[in-house]
Each structure stands twice: as structure tokens, then as C-alpha cells.
Amino acid sequence: MPPQKACVFCGRYDGLSKEHLWPKWMGEYLPLSEPNAHISELHSGIAKQLRTLQRRSERPGPVQTKKIRAVCSRCNNSWMSALEEEAKPILLRALTSQGLIVGPSEAERLSKWAVLKAIVGEHASGDHLTPADDRSNFRSMQAIPSYFRVFANMHASTTQAAYVRHSATFSLTLNGPKPSLPKGVNRNVQLTTLLVGPLCLHVSATRVDGAPNGLLDPVRPMACLHPISSATVDLGLIPVLTDIDLHLNSRAIQRLIDHPRVKYGGELPVP
């Protein structure tokens, strides 16, 4: 029997629930995908080798019914539910209009919801990035870790629900990543792209000392929601993202891997 898993936020072992990547209430706003099934794929590679398919699964139901077993029912039904309720009015406006205007407080609420989805999504494939202390602080204080950045824009793709995550491990020294990777953590950069109806959320995390803050920023226009500024963000003033734009923005980590100055340094040193 496989070992029982703990909640990724509170660490309890009292049974995990399934967290919806897209909330159930969004069902009436997101068109059903055809065929009535969704596919999950895991691709991985070493150094600059092309990533190859490691695992593929197909499950019944549209992609917006995807669930991830990573949190306990207590967290799911308390602070996570409250955080989602705070973001719901903003998400509803995005789902029912051609644009979205958000003030600083709304940008903060939407960013917290996006980071929540990114952290939960890390635990779908076993190669997560966010250390336990930062997950605990996010639970207790909803404090977004300093190495996260969140961007948003509307898109013109016919795909209305999609989730793509890329992750890797980088080091600026031959002695291994700084800060070091805590026990159980094996990545220090990741990029999550989430389509929520006509809204695209771009959540990056760069937990590498000395790396530029904008290392994984989108190359096609998106508004920065976090770190939060005092300005109101009007997504209607930004050119809508095309399918090509979505693809380019989501491949920031692969472009970094392919850069000629990025070299493979061998296996990570054993701590």
C-alpha cells in the first residue's frame, strides 16, 4: 500500500480531498470540450535534450472537471474556499465580458487565487517547487512568496480551459542551486499558464538567488498583477493574446534552457 499523503498546506494526514482546478460553478460559463474526455501528459528531458513523453492518461469528462488530490477537506472548505469566494466576482466579470478592469485590491485577490492554483498544480506530477514553509505561510496569511509573479490578459483562442506547467532546476554556480533545494523539493523555476474562459493567467516562480525578477515574464503583452502596483489595470487596453502569443509566453523556460549560455552542469550535488 502506498504511503498516505499529507495535505500540501497544513501537513495533516486526515485524508485528502480533490481540489477542482476550475471551480464547479464555472461549469455554466465554460463550453464543454469535445470529445467528452481530457488528456494529461508529462514530458521530461535532461540538459538540452528534447523533452519526451513520460506519461499520458485520458479520463472521462471535459478538462474543466480536472481535480488534483493534494489538499485536505479542512483546508479546501475553509481558507481556500474563502479565497476563491473573494476572487469569484472578478473571475465572473472576466467570463462574461470582453475585457477586465481591476484595481489594486482586486489584482491582489486574483493573484492569490492564481498562485493557489499554481501551488496545487505543482503536486499533480511530483516535481513541486514551493517549500513547505512558504506553503504554510500562504495558508495562514495568504502571503504570496516573494519569487512569484502573476500576469493576466484576455485571449482569442477557441480553447477556453487549459492548464500547462513547465518546471526545471537552474543554478548560477557549480555548487548547486542557491537557495538550496529543501528536502522533497526538486525544482526552483516554474511557469504555469491557466486559461479561464477568455482570461489567461501567467504565474511564474523563480526561486534562484541572483536571477532577474523578470526571467520568465511573458514576451507577448500581459498586465502585471503581482507584485501589485497602485495603478488600475485595464486589460481592454492591451492587445488580445493569439494562440501563437499563448504558445510563446508559455515556453519561457524552454527558451531559457535553449539559450547558448546555459550549460548542463551534471547531476545536482548531494546536500
Confidence of residue 4 (pLDDT cuts 50, 70, 90): confident
- Rounded CA separation 148/153 (Å): 17
Between CA 152 and CA 34 the distance in angstroms is 26
DSSP 267: S
Using CA atoms, how far apart are residues 154 and 200, in angstroms rounded to an integer? 6
- Structural domain count, the chain: 1
User: How far is the first Cα of the chain from the last one, in angstroms, to the nearest whole number?
Assistant: 30
Work out the mean pLDDT of the chain and round it to a whole number. 87
- Measured between alpha carbons, how far is 24 from 69 in angstroms, rounded to an integer? 16
Instruction: Identify the band that residue 126 occupies on the pLDDT scale cut at 50, 70 and 90.
Output: confident
- pLDDT number for residue 231: 86
pLDDT of residue 39: 57
CA dihedral 53, 260, 149, 39 (to 10 degrees): -10
- Answer yes or no: is pLDDT of 40 > 70: no
Cα 65 to its chain centre, rounded Å, is 17
Is 74's pLDDT higher than 80?
yes
d(CA 224, CA 111): 10
Q: Which three cell numbers stand for residue 256?
A: 531559457
**Residue 43 C-alpha from the chain's centroid:** 16
Q: pLDDT tens, 179-195?
A: 999 988 889 999 999 99
Q: Is residue 127 part of a domain?
A: yes
Is the bond preceding residue 227 a cis peptide, omega within 30 degrees? yes
Domain that holds residue 60: 16-258
Average pLDDT over residues 237-252: 95
Judge whether 242 and 156 are in contact, CB under 8 Å.
Answer: yes
- Can you tell me the distance from the alpha carbon of 128 to that of 139, in angstroms, rounded to the nearest whole number? 17
Domain-located, residue 192: yes
pLDDT on residue 142: 93
Mean pLDDT of 165-188: 89
Identify whether 41 is part of a domain. yes
Look at residue 74 and tell me if it is in a domain: yes
Averaged pLDDT for residues 22-49 = 69
Judge whether 228 lies within some domain: yes
* Residue 83 is assigned to a structural domain of this protein: yes
CA distances from 148 to 71, 214, 224, 249 (A): 21, 10, 11, 16
CB 227 within 8 A of CB 153: no
Q: Is the pLDDT of residue 78 over 90?
A: yes
pLDDT of residue 65: 79
6-16 mean pLDDT: 91
Strand bridging mode 223-226 / 148-154: antiparallel
State the pLDDT at residue 34. Answer: 61
Confidence class for position 129, pLDDT limits 50, 70, 90: very high
Distance, in Å, from the CA atom of 145 to the CA atom of 154, rounded to the nearest integer, reads 25
Q: How confident is the model at residue 55 (pLDDT cuts 50, 70, 90)?
A: low
Give the model's pLDDT for residue 1: 46
Give the single-character DSSP code of 235: G
pLDDT grade for 263, boundaries at 50, 70 and 90? confident
Domain-embedded: residue 124? yes
- Stretch 53-75: mean pLDDT, rounded? 76
Contact 222, 241 (CB under 8 A): yes
Q: Is 161 a domain residue?
A: yes
- Of 38-47, 149-158, 216-225, the range with the lowest mean pLDDT is 38-47
Which grid coordinates belong to 136? 504554510
Residue by residue, DSSP assigns 152-183 as: EEEB--S--EEEEEEEE---SSTT--SSPPPT
pLDDT digits (tens, 9 = 90+) for 208-236: 999 988 899 999 999 999 998 888 999 99
Q: How far is CA 69 from CA 109, 207, 208, 226, in A?
A: 24, 25, 28, 27
For cell 471535459, the residue is 62
